[in-house]
A and B are shown apart, each in its own frame.
Chain A
Amino acid sequence: MAKVTLDSTEYDLPTGANLLQAALGEGIDIPYFCWHPALGSVGACRQCAVRQYRDENDERGMLVMSCMVPCTDGTRFDVHNDEDIVKFRETVTEWLMTNHPHDCPVCDEGGHCHLQDMTVMTGHNYRSYRFTKRTYKNQYLGPHINHEMNRCITCYRCVRFYDDYAGGKDLQAMASHNHVYFGRHEEGTLDSEFSGNLIEVCPTGVFTDKTFKSHFIRKWDLQSAPSICQGCSMGCNIIASERYGKLRLINNRYHHDLNGYFICDRGRFGYEYVNAEARVKIPRLKDDGDFKDLTEDELSTFLSGHIQPGSKLLGIGSPRASLESNFALRTLVGSDNFSNGLTQRDSDLMSRILAIRAEHPANNASIRDIEASDAVLVLGEDLTNTAPRMALALRQSTRNEPMESVTAMRIPEWSDKAARLATFGKSGPLFAATPRGTKLDDVTTAKVHGDPVDIARLGYAIAHALDAEAPAVGGLSEEESAFVTAAAAALKGAKQPAIISGTSLNEGKLLDAAANVALALTQQDKPAQLAYVAPEGNAMGTAMVGGMSLERAIEAARTGDYDAVVIVENDLYQNLLASLADSLFEGEITVIAIDHSMGATMDKADLILPAGAFSESDGTLVNFEGRAQRFFQVYPAEAAIQEAWRWVRDLMEFADQSQANEWQTLDDVLFAMEKDVTSLQGVAEAAPLAAFRAVGGKIPRMSRRASGRTAMQAHIEVSEDKPAEDPDTPLSFSMEGSATTPPPALLNRYYAPGWSSVSSLNRFQDEVGGPLRGGDPGVGLIQSPGDASVSFYNHVPEATRLTDGQVLFLPLHHVFGSEPWSASCPGIQARSPGPYLAVHPDDAGKWGLEEGDLAKIALDGRDLTLPVQFTPSLKAGTAGLPVGFAGLEGASLPTAAAAPTRGIES
């Protein structure tokens, strides 16, 4: 710590940190623009000026930028005491505003705008610039980002995030002097999967959310709740916001160990299905092939006819449903009759992950652990598409090793341009083996492309190279051997090596191989980081709940032993071949499907019950590292919609189960779950329970300034409704309640006096950029066993052998398109490639295929016709199919099958 005097008060600030960041952490208001806690300092905007004094006797001092000054013991600064500095800062804002359109009333940023805050903070309130403003034309940047360059104050944060941090290349600074323009070479959708962060990174309204614009509401009128992104297994924290029954906006919610300041575009924009037409709002019964809405009584009648005490019920849960919903279903049907909704394949993979985790000594890595690693091995995962936020962390990790030389040169790490310059062209070790090239290729030290077994074999070989005890692998190619040697050397030389694998290639040996590498490293006392990417938002949680696989459940249903099957938030047709899924509906069994939207399974069910989407429900998800995190209902659900677990609880009534009465609130389910499922001990602590009260009562979901709370229902009923009760959480559907800062897990809004924008987040951390005050939310359900009693996994797979004329079809993933619910949103759809067949050009030549041709393949007994996409990075003899795309649902990949033939002429 350094003793630093600011305005005559002495502070203990972290030595070497930049003064701006340290001072903000002390709650001192210094205005700034170009600095960002995750992007560091560049000294461009000149807004954070302070006066620095050499020593006690120095009276003149020197104007410096606080973002560029390291905290050193015994230094002295004036922030507010010096009139000239205050005036300079006001002048900086005045300059920035000379060309700003002052269009706050029609600007989507208005009300949560950093520029507004800084203008007020610096006291610039009188415009003396009397000349004309320059104006720009805006660009179309795709379905998600709106561009309004006239508002730009040229802080360069956008390109520093987009290009320097996230590796995007198509957004750049153009032109010069006061005509600098941030845009693309030509109009078009921004390439980066992280483009949505521009909305939060931009200090004013240049980049705004187009989906939000289509149903815009001012920040203070939004009703918000803390939530968890359901788009993949990372469990990024988000804030979801509503008004008038519509989900309006997803923003990043800071979590130090996970998403930090950024989320991906799937998570930010993939929410629109919640407001879509396909939503189900009333229970409906199949009547002569058509659905008809049921009244409460009609529903009761139906259910009492079909579910009675002693009824034989089968339950199918889902890896995208909450723990509570899955557990409720398991309780309703009994664990022997419960499927957690994972396919056999995923179920095996998840069991394997849990088994490895139970015995493996490597650290169960968080996203931040990955980001802090200085050598990384990726086995199989195309992270940008299967775990985007981790890919972003990985990109940062490649800076760690070169950064050591920067520190040696005494360049502070936060001096971003200088640090990047000093590490120019250098990238730390990142070794990746994937089926084809990825968007991390530009920072990858070495890469090999192959089929999943090839990749697993590489992993085993690396483990063997690190430790001769690990099983050896024969028959590697020269390229593979070189890769193995280099990767092993890099991991061995690292201070904190990380190994990432996962389930996306459906190959269990990959998991073992990754574990072997991590084990070899831990046995050499390296703090090895091991991360497994799971298939869906709550795959980890459902695997922990247990149960039979989807396929086994269908088999069971077909035995005729069951009266009814209850399916919770699982569209079988997305995970299974249609022919298999169909068979569930062929027998006499009554199918009750509970989901938020229509889909193939709902279409075929006898009774459908409207479940709340994530924004209308509370629940707990377990992310890839086994961290249980609670998401909260944002607004009272419409009509008959309720949480899936509540529907299941209602069904219990008809089965005459005691829980029907006992389970009144979410907490009741949580406690029951903790009691019944050993692996879920502690899950209730993921967030404060419903009884929690802050000073002043419940935590209001609405801001204190929400307009017209008493007239919110005016279009339905003029008299004021009582605000909806929330028995499940400490949050209220109201503006009344506690005015204090809620505990981190309940934080639903960033605001501090004088700080209306997301920058106010600084006020919720003890140290800017550090953990949230009070600790980051969530509870880890998996602890690595400290000491290693485990030995190396010994079953090295044989390389795949194909018979003549065969090709191995591999699963390829897409951040936009492979996750069905986000993919149903129009904007995500527009950014998704259509279905295609990826082939190596050499193979294509053999098969007489040209790029763009329609190729025919026969897979799982289905004939598919797909346009050919040349993918030179694929290993010859393998071909790729995009997972989850229309027409490819339920494909079992990898699969060896006959080579494609030319279909219709393109």
Chain B
Amino acid sequence: MSSPETKPLLSYCDPENPMDLKAYEAVGGYKSLHKALKHMTPPEVVELVKDSNLRGRGGAGFNTGLKWSFVPQGDNAPKEKYLVCNADEMEPGTFKDRLLMEGKPHQLVEAMIVSAYAFGATTGYIFLRGEYKLAERRLLDAIAEAKAAGYLGNNILGTDYSYELVLHTSAGRYICGEETALLNALEGRRANPRAKPPFPPAVGLWGKPTIINNVETLSNVPHIINNGKEWFHGLSDSNDGGTKLYGISGRVNTPGIWELPLGVTIRELIEEHGGGMRDGYKFRGVLPGGASTDFLVEEHLDLKMDYDTIAKAGSRLGTGTMILLDDKTSVLGMVHNLIQFFAHESCGWCTPCRDGLPWVERVMEALKDGRGSPGDIETLEKHCRYLWIGCTFCALAPGAVEPLKSALKYFREDFENAIRPAPEPADGSIRAKARQGLLEALGQTN
């Protein structure tokens, strides 16, 4: 068993047999609640978390405490405030939150209470993927136990603080991971992202101040309260605080999830933790932080997996769960699979994403089957350009084209080889004449 001092998140995390309340309390569970509610003011908790430099683990990497500080407080602020845990883990190749919820559900429940206290949330919602049935059961049990123990409900631990925690299971939609779309889903609507401003800390669930944090992000909070910010900084090999759950899927010997200091190198992850590439397979590339991050290749293997380093290399740390591309897997097939996913998961709100991604999908389908046409690469490049940030309403499409964009950069030959030259229509044929006529009319030459 790993040590709670260096691996706070996954210590005592056992998906086969998770701790019940008693066992969890016996190893220091719910201690943070006593400390925070009885000995700290809410602003002190916010300050502490802000100073710990805990950055969001859901992909965007925003300072968590800073986010909390945006919640309007005081008599003029709405009384109802909400904390929403984004447990809609749906990024392909990402499976870390599942582990936390199945293996150590009380950690999240504790985190949801203490974090809520920090900005005065009146109700918390865990927005859980519908497919995560085991996690659902475990969390429901944990919530029931916590309630019975007086950690939830009115006047928690005899203080003035009252708080309810509700588990909501999603009906399945990747876009629900986008925090404002998630709010719409929670309100029982179609999960289209919302216009920003306003931002959820001011206008969120049912128009009330709302904080949305990822499972892993929240899970760190009790430990920060228990052990302090210096300890948290010390866990990391980077400028940002804490450990990180790293994962690998693909053709390594031992795929899995590990809690490691933030800033471990890609090579170490693959070689030491993933057990190296499987026999007969060679490393070709990696999506470092889930399906919506840019490929990194051989030359990047020694880079540290932290927010800034990976960003500098042209990709994103994202969720920290890597997907490996090996030499026997078709790059085109992989990109097609990814784009197919994103095209299907587009909510249909904005044009570029809704109508652009399916086009990319069709082109990729043709390319992967070796049916590419001249101009296809240009079409893909145009889409990479015009599905970028700002062009679209939310970050789904920009994320979707990250692997494509980088694949075009690093694996361009694969694309070029998939293009069949257009058969020239025989001179004098009706098609040839029509084509010529059209080109002339457009002022273009053949």
Contact = CB atoms under 8 A, between A and B. Distances in A.
* A and B associate: yes
Interface of A: 42-47, 49, 62-64, 68, 88, 91-92, 95-96, 98-99, 125-126, 128-131, 153-154, 156, 173, 175-180, 409-411, 415, 417-418, 421-426
Contacts of A98: 355, 358-359
A480 B348 CA distance: 48
Nearest to B195: A418
Given A64-B390, A415-B195, A422-B198, A45 B348 contact: no
A424 B206 CA distance: 6
Nearest to B207: A424
Given A154-B355, A410-B197, 9 more contacts: A46-B350, A95-B352, A131-B359, A131-B362, A178-B343, A180-B348, A409-B198, A421-B198, A422-B198
Given A409-B198, A410-B197, A415-B195, A175 B348 contact: yes
B202 interface: yes
A264 to B, nearest CB: 28
A95 B356 contact: yes
A830 to B, nearest CB: 32
Nearest to A415: B195
Contact of B355 (A62, A96, A424): A96
B203 interface: yes
A410 to B, nearest CB: 7
A179 B382 contact: no
B391 interface: yes
Nearest to A64: B390
A423 B392 contact: no
Nearest to A426: B207
Given A98-B355, A178-B343, A44 B349 contact: yes
Interface in B199-232: 202-203, 206-207
A46 B348 contact: no
B347 A92 contact: no
Interface in B330-380: 343-352, 354-359, 362, 373, 375, 379
B194 interface: yes
Contacts of A179: 348
A726 B362 CA distance: 60
Contacts of B442: 125-126
Interface residues of B, number: 38
A649 to B, nearest CB: 59
A153 B352 CA distance: 12
Nearest to B444: A126
B190 interface: yes
Given A46-B393, A88-B386, A424-B207, A95 B351 contact: yes
Contacts of A95: 351-352, 354-356, 359
B173 interface: yes
Contacts of B347: 176-177
18 contacts: A46-B392, A47-B351, A88-B391, A91-B382, A95-B356, A126-B442, A131-B362, A154-B351, A176-B348, A177-B346, A177-B357, A177-B358, A178-B346, A178-B348, A409-B202, A421-B207, A423-B207, A425-B207
A407 to B, nearest CB: 12
A178 B390 contact: no
A177 B346 CA distance: 5
Contact of A99 (B349, B355, B373): B355
Interface of B: 173, 190, 194-198, 202-203, 206-207, 343-352, 354-359, 362, 373, 375, 379, 382, 386, 390-393, 442
Contacts of B206: 424-425
Given A63-B390, A64-B390, A88-B386, A44 B203 contact: no
B352 A154 contact: no
Contacts of B348: 154, 173, 175-180
A128 B375 CA distance: 9
Nearest to A416: B195
A42 B203 contact: no
B354 to A, nearest CB: 5
Greatest chain A CB density within 10 A among B203, B355, B393 is at B355
B179 to A, nearest CB: 13
A417 B343 CA distance: 24
A88 B390 CA distance: 11
A279 B69 CA distance: 73
B371 to A, nearest CB: 11
Contacts of A178: 343, 346, 348, 354-355, 358
Given A99-B355, A154-B348, A68 B195 contact: yes
A154 B354 contact: yes
Contact of B197 (A96, A180, A411): A411
Nearest to B72: A409
Greatest chain A CB density within 10 A among B207, B343, B345, B346 is at B207
Nearest 7 pairs of A and B residues by beta carbon: A95-B355, A180-B348, A424-B207, A131-B362, A177-B346, A418-B195, A63-B390
Nearest to A411: B198
A176 B174 CA distance: 12
A91 B352 CA distance: 9
Contact of B203 (A46, A96, A156, A409): A409
Nearest to B373: A130
Contacts of A418: 194-198, 203
A426 B203 CA distance: 14
Nearest to A88: B386
A49 B385 CA distance: 14
Contacts of A92: 351-352
A702 to B, nearest CB: 33
B359 A129 contact: yes
Greatest chain A CB density within 10 A among B198, B343, B351, B373 is at B351
A46 B195 contact: no
A44 B351 contact: yes
A44 B197 contact: no
B207 A177 contact: no
